[in-house]
Amino acid sequence: MTTLLTPGDIETAADLLSTGQLVAFGTETVYGLGADAQNPRAVAAIFGAKGRPHFNPLICHYPNADDAFQHVEAPALARKLAAAFWPGPLTLVLPRRITCPVALLAGAGLDTLAIRVPAHPVALSLIAALGRPIAAPSANRSGRISPTSAAHVLAQLNGRIAAIIDTGACEVGLESTVLDLSGPTPFLLRPGGISLEALEAVIGPVARGITSATAEAARTLRSPGLLVSHYAPSLPLRLNATALAPDEALLAFGPPLQAAMTVQLSASKNLAEAASRLFEALHWLDANAPAQNLRQIAAMPIPDHGLGHAINDRLTRAAAPRSQAG
Ligand code: TXA
Ligand code: MG
């Protein structure tokens, strides 16, 4: 059985981590499934608990930028981004230093490491209490929707991990933006909680599309984080719906279409509100639509700027044919 802990149980959670066990914890983005990043067996256990392919690398979470930059080669650009956005929902992919003590498996054997300083007091206390970085992917089974509450984590991982620290709902609700700084130009690997516009305001143009060296390497390795089908609910999902079929449940954005069952992302078309509700909405529809004989989710169009870019990225992957899932 998985133990449910409270933010008051940080020492207990840190003890579990230091003995190689897995502990899920809330961050500002989604719940992470944590292990001591310097313990290869604990990192290996993450892949087992999630059913995650070993070639998909994990993000390492640090208490501050100075500690993070001890493990990677950080150019001035990385330091500028850290100053602007950390703690916060931005992950930087940088070359590992030769002295980096993080388990090679955490980086899936790549010569880069993804690092992030989360903006959540409980997550930061947990990392501080452990005294080492925490490797943590999102705390869902591989290919499924990321969890934004302790209940979501339990539903997918109960009995497979030692404990969960319940910190309530996640504020951002979407994973971090992943930016590759290991090549000659900054490259967006995954849109997320920090918008492309916000990044470009600090460092100028950011490239995107699958062409960076790291993305190519990850694709060669068939990294599921970059696969087309990901973040999938059990029910099929249809995008850009302007009218509904009788067997469809509605994922609404703004004034809703007529539907038998509706979950509203943001009545006022606020993209931050919609992002924070997206995964909860998909979890809820998955759990409740079948009982009403609804067999598909139809999502209304969402504008493709700011956080809308990340929302559409997740919806597109969730709607992709499942045969491509890793
Ligand atoms: O918000 C988040 O980022 C959450 C919280 C828990 O921090 N974590 C998260 O982790 O979403 P995960 O494992 O679900 O997604 C990490 C993504 C994957 O797409 C992975 O392929 C990519 O980051 N990634 C990790 N290390 C990488 C590396 N060295 N090079 C390229 N991509 C990397
Ligand atoms: Mg994930």
Sequence-distant (6+) residues with CB within 8 A of 77 are 181, 186, 203
Looking at residue 229, what is its pLDDT?
59
Query: Would you say 39 and 20 are in contact if contact means Cβ atoms under 8 Å apart?
Result: yes
Residue 31 has pLDDT above 60, yes or no: yes
Confidence of residue 222 (pLDDT cuts 50, 70, 90): very low
Edge-to-edge strand list for the sheet holding 134-135? 3-5, 163-165, 23-25, 32-36, 134-135, 59-61, 112-116, 90-95, 177-180, 187-190, 207-208
Angle at 139 between CA 287 and CA 85, to 5 degrees: 115
Percentage of the chain lying above the pLDDT 90 cut? 82
Sequence-distant (6+) residues with CB within 8 A of 84 are 202
pTM, to two decimals: 0.89
d(CA 2, CA 157): 8
| CA–centroid distance, residue 259 to ligand 2 (Å) | 30
Which protein residue has the closest C-alpha to ligand 1 atom 18?
225
Q: Is the link from the previous residue into 205 a cis peptide, with omega within 30 of 0?
A: no
Percentage of the chain lying above the pLDDT 70 cut? 92
Angle, helix 196-203 to helix 76-85, in steps of 10 degrees: 130
Query: Would you say 182 and 210 are in contact if contact means Cβ atoms under 8 Å apart?
Result: no
Beta bridge partners of 134: 36, 61
Looking at residue 174, what is its pLDDT?
96
Across the chain, mean pLDDT equals 92
Looking at residue 34, what is its pLDDT?
98
Residue 324 has pLDDT above 80, yes or no: no
Average pLDDT over residues 13-20: 98
Looking at residue 215, what is its pLDDT?
59
Q: Is the CB of 182 under 6 A from ligand 1?
A: no
Confidence of residue 109 (pLDDT cuts 50, 70, 90): confident
Confidence of residue 221 (pLDDT cuts 50, 70, 90): low
Q: Is the CB of 27 under 6 A from ligand 1?
A: yes
Average pLDDT over residues 113-126: 98
Confidence of residue 308 (pLDDT cuts 50, 70, 90): very high
Over the stretch 147-176, which tens digit does the pLDDT of each residue have? 999 999 999 999 999 999 999 999 999 999
Looking at residue 325, what is its pLDDT?
36
Residue 55 has pLDDT above 60, yes or no: yes
Confidence of residue 231 (pLDDT cuts 50, 70, 90): low
Confidence of residue 44 (pLDDT cuts 50, 70, 90): confident
Looking at residue 32, what is its pLDDT?
98
Mutating to test ligand 1, I would choose from 72, 120, 124, 175 the residue with most ligand atoms within 8 A of its C-beta, which is 175
Over the stretch 179-209, which tens digit does the pLDDT of each residue have? 999 998 999 999 999 999 999 999 999 998 7
Q: Is the CB of 136 under 6 A from ligand 1?
A: yes
Per DSSP, the chain holds a count of helices (H) and strands (E) of: 10, 15
Confidence of residue 105 (pLDDT cuts 50, 70, 90): confident
- Single-letter amino acid code for the residue at 292: Q
Looking at residue 56, what is its pLDDT?
86
Looking at residue 37, what is its pLDDT?
98
Ligand 1 nearest atom to the CA of residue 172, by list position:
1
Sequence-distant (6+) residues with CB within 8 A of 201 are none
Which protein residue has the closest C-alpha to ligand 1 atom 10?
137
d(CA 143, CA 164): 20
